[in-house]
Amino acid sequence: MEYKGLSSEEIKKRQLQYGKNALPEEKSMPAVKIFFLQFANPLVYILLVAGLVSFFLGKYFDIALIFSVVLINALMGFFQENKTQNTLAALKKLVKPRAKVLRGGEKHEIDASELVPGDIAYLGMGDRVPADGKVLESVSLLVNEAVLTGESDAVRKQEDDEVFMGTIVVSGRAVIRIEKIGSQAKIGGIAQTLKETEQPETTLQVRLKKMTKTLIYISVFLAALVFLFGLFTGRNVLEMAEFSAILLVAIIPESLLIVITLVLVLAMRDSLKKKALIRKILAVETLGSVTTICADKTGTLTEGIMKITKTELADPESSNLAMCLCNDMNDTVEAALWDYLKGVKNFDQQKIFDKHKRISEIPFGSEHKFMAAANVLPKETGMLFLSVKGAPEAVLKMCALESEKKEEIIRTVDEWANRGLKVLAVASKKIPDLGERKIKEEELSNLEWGGIVGLWDPPRKKVKGALAAALDGGLKLKVITGDYRLTAERIMKYLGLRVKPQEVLEGIELDRMDDEELKKRVGKILLFARVTPHQKLRVVSALQDNGEIVAMTGDGVNDAPALKKSNIGIVVGDASEVAKETADLILLDNNFKTIVSAIEGGRLVFENIKKIILFILSNSFAEVVAIMGALILGWPLPLTVVQILWLHLLCDGPEDFILGFEPKEDEAMSDGPKRMDEPILDKLGLFLIITVSMISGIISLTFFWYFGIHLGNIALGQTMAFMSLAFNSITYIFSCRTLRKPFWRYKNFWSNKWLFVVVGCSLFLATIITYFPPTQKLLNLVPLHLFQWSLLMGEAILLVTIVEIAKAVLKLKKKSLGRKTSDAKHELAPLASGE
């Protein structure tokens, strides 16, 4: 049937009348609510308790300052969360559903939101139905309506049946007329009543909550201990209340959660620049824990651009007609066949395709591995041309050939496959035209063998280097393909992967295994060939049962179950809508290198969060050591509430943020994946926190004793104690930038330029506040002399030197222990020059 579609004038009228084809979106959280939620934080509650204690002690300025800090952090959190919300919304807009339509007699691909009632739309396998409509034409159309009915079985649709927005085309194709759009569609009414499902907490959130609880328990315990200790030693109740309040303020890292949110958002934005669109923020942290990549060969390891380089056709005329008519131009293989036909003399494939109307078809399926089409023969009334294309072994079964001839063809197929070619077979015959009907099973026999074509899909440039980086980084690779074993092995050889016979498993063998046997063998397999989507799901499940964190690539509707089952589902940019919706990561350049880059980004996030927490807690507990030391020794307070808040807000605060911009270290990948249950702070981190806080706290306390107690100048003693902690914080950040080597040997030393700006400003501010009368009064400071500044610089350098020595000792110890290797380590051949 001929269709013209709507004219541009009619489209404009209907767009004004019906609006956008979009369901009502969940309203974003109001700004006011985001702001007030910043106060719903246990760490803030502790600070407010300290503020109340200050209030009862008559320290009105202290309470004003505490509340000011809480408010400033709330504002910072509000702006950061609001920015995060906007960033996620912007990323979401990058993945818009598309629809194929006929308008003004021409086919177009448009945003599904632009559809109007009356539009003629085309559906194919893997498409999500863009709006409610009536089927005008259909070929073997099966639609999954689980989103509406909850039933998982696909429903067959024929002419005049209705299809509904949001349902999925499992197989076949159709032409439909759009009837209802947006909230008028059947799913629109359901969407109005649905509430947004609450997102489960991520591993990082759980870890941070656990750490926050631990900090709260520690702060409450120490505050109570200090208070009781003071009472038992005969000190004044009010004095001990002040000690406890200051201790609470010292422990609490006010900006921690804000900084971590910043790091996650930065990672998402950075990945997008590198052509990896992360759809879910939780995927950022999971990427850092990936241990195994299950990569589809076509499109990620190879260019995904097929070209016919070899043919062996028994009957070129009928074979060319079969390649033309049994073709929907839906994938790179069919596009390659179409391009090949352009070079055939006196063969206008578009005219021939239009002239031979298709009556029926059997869509390609991964289970039967062929496509069949029955087309009208204009010059032969009452006859149809039945053409079949697909895997040689599937097509050969349908052909009437002697066994010797079949064996000869199989040898040729194997020879071509061994050269890395994807081999496709065609066959055909004439059948009676009985009107509108399905192709009968018995008609798929005694076909005339047409021949084979060899398609070359070249390996991607720079993939070899990315594979080397992945394997060096402790990642295990599993190549999963529907292609011949020999074809896949040849491509992998081009990429430098040595595949041993025992490292290959074909789909037919996989089917004979039960889940327990597969679980035992899956770790030692590198190549899975001739596998179906269901078998992909079994492979992913077996790997996960062995404790692997799996990243899986796919592109079709049949890949959706395996993508959903994997820890990180990865799809290429031109994947089906269903595959995209189950994915965590979309490759905008379809490149394996981008996957490795995204995993590096995930590891970088974990590394930077660890550095930030290490930096913050080291500084906080240094203050705790100084305060508790003074209490035990019976001295006055070495620090005031105002001084501690100044340290947290203006010395530590900007540097916390700037650590989130640290680039990846070369050794980050070689350290291997991060376990999902790995604590944020490892033994090195805990050791450094204890070491730094003890040394920094004791140095600060020593200055307080000498200048405040020994010389009898408490204001000078507090100034030196305060400035000591400030200088330690400012210089210690350089040691936090890398935990693997001395900071002066850090390759990226000059890369984070903002860090030097922040450090410079912090040093200038730390110096000037001792001479500026308003800050002298605010912070209870006195001017310092050159000798005292020299002492401060000397002790800051001493602290960093001790930290660097500790890092070196622990690194040597870690090296001597070695690392466990994976159960399936694969080697790469030497890299070719230029790769």
The DSSP secondary structure of 229-242, one letter per residue, reads HHHHTT--HHHHHH
Round to whole Å and give the CA distance between 246 and 578: 55
CB 254 within 8 A of CB 263: no
The verdict on domain 8-25+101-193 having CATH code 2.70.150.10 is yes
Question: How many whole angstroms separate alpha carbon 364 and alpha carbon 377?
Answer: 23
User: Does this chain's domain 202-255+609-815 share its CATH topology with 276-303+460-590?
Assistant: no
Angstrom distance (rounded) from CA 276 to CA 210: 31
Residue 97 tokens read as 């559903």
Contact 468, 390 (CB under 8 A): no
CA dihedral 176, 177, 180, 182 (to 10 degrees): 60
Q: Does domain 276-303+460-590 have CATH number 3.40.309.10?
A: no
Give first-to-last CA distance, the chain, whole Å.
52
pLDDT at 757: 93
Residues 6 or more apart whose CB falls under 8 angstroms from that of 351 comprise none
Closest CA to 292 of 651, 734, 828, 825: 825
Strands (E), 267-325: 276-278, 292-296, 307-313
| Cα 386 to Cα 439: distance, rounded to the nearest angstrom | 9
313: number of Cβ within 10 Å: 17
Report residue 72 as tokens: 């400033």
How far, CA to CA in Å, does 513 sit from each of 349, 506, 509, 521, 535?
45, 11, 7, 10, 11
Return the axis-axis angle of helices 256-273 and 592-632, rounded to nearest 10°: 160
DSSP string, 168-218: EEEEEEEEEEEEE-GGGSHHHHHHHH--PPPPPPPHHHHHHHHHHHHHHHH
Q: Residue 556 carries which DSSP code?
A: S
Tokens of 251: 């422990």
d(CA 403, CA 398): 13
Cα-based distances in Å from 615 to 72, 247, 803 = 21, 18, 12
For the CA atoms of 105, 108, 113, 119, the dihedral, rounded to the nearest 10 degrees, stands at 20
Distance from C-alpha of 392 to C-alpha of 425, rounded to nearest angstrom: 5
* Paired tokens of 619: 């500084």
**Cα–Cα dist 834/465, whole Å:** 10
CA distance to 394, 617, 726, 759, 797, per residue, from 693 (Å):
71, 8, 13, 20, 15
Task: Kindly give the parts of the chain with pLDDT less than 70.
Answer: 1, 24-28, 43, 47, 50, 57, 60, 62, 65-66, 69, 73, 76-77, 80-95, 147, 149-153, 189-203, 205-206, 254-255, 436, 556-558, 574-578, 666-669, 676-677, 812-835
Q: Taking CA 69 as the corner, what is the angle to CA 67 and CA 73, rounded to the nearest 5 degrees?
A: 115
Choice among 119, 127, 270, 296 that is catalytic: 296
Distance CA 631, CA 242 (A): 11
Q: Kindly report the number of other CB atoms within 10 A of residue 14's CB atom.
A: 18
Residues 305 and 461: their CA atoms lie apart, in Å, by 13
* CATH topology (fold) of 202-255+609-815: Calcium-transporting ATPase, transmembrane domain (1.20.1110)
Helices (H), 421-514: 463-472, 485-494, 507-512
- Three-state DSSP class for 450? strand
DSSP three-state, residue 588: coil
- Record the tokens describing residue 195, joined without a space: 């509430």
Residue pair 83/266 in contact (Cβ under 8 Å)? The answer is no
Two tokens at 608? 């930077």
Whole-angstrom CA distances from 709 to 239, 623, 629, 700, 713 are: 18, 18, 13, 13, 7
Q: Tokens 């310092």 — which residue?
A: 784
| Structure confidence at residue 712 (pLDDT) | 94
Any idea what DSSP says for residue 712? S
**Are residues 793 and 727 in contact, defined by beta-carbon separation less than 8 angstroms?**
yes
Task: Look at residue 474 in the predicted model and tell me its pLDDT.
Answer: 87
**Burial readout 570-609 (b: 16 or more C-beta within 10 A, e: otherwise):** bbbeebbbbbbbbbbbbbeebbbbbbbbbbbbbbbbbbbb
The domain limits of the chain are: 8-25+101-193, 202-255+609-815, 276-303+460-590, 307-456
| Predicted pLDDT of residue 556 | 63
Separation of alpha carbons 708 and 399, rounded Å: 100
Alpha-carbon span 239 to 8, nearest angstrom? 81
Model pLDDT, residue 28: 66
Q: How far apart are CA 463 and CA 455, in angstroms?
A: 20
- What is the per-residue pLDDT for 421? 93
Q: Give the tokens for residue 658.
A: 């700037």
Give the pTM: 0.74
User: Of 561, 576, 559, 567, which Cα lies nearest the Cα of 543?
Assistant: 567
Task: Name the CATH code of domain 307-456 (choices 1.10.3720.10, 3.40.1110.10, 3.30.565.10, 3.10.129.10).
Answer: 3.40.1110.10
Per-residue model confidence (pLDDT) at position 117: 95
Sequence length of the chain is: 835
CA-closest candidate to residue 291, choices 665, 663, 816, 821 = 821
Q: Which residues contact 52 (CB under 8 A, 6 or more apart)?
A: 63
Query: Is 823 known to be catalytic?
Result: no
Strands 585-587 and 568-572: parallel
Residue type at position 695: I
Residues 6+ apart with CB under 8 A from 482: 366, 530, 531, 532
Sign of the dihedral through C-alpha 417, 418, 421, 422: positive
C-alpha–C-alpha distance, residues 586 and 594, integer Å: 10
User: Can you read off the two tokens belonging to residue 526?
Assistant: 């590198």
Q: Write the DSSP symbol of residue 23.
A: P
Give the whole-angstrom CA distance, residue 203 versus residue 724: 37
d(CA 686, CA 728): 18
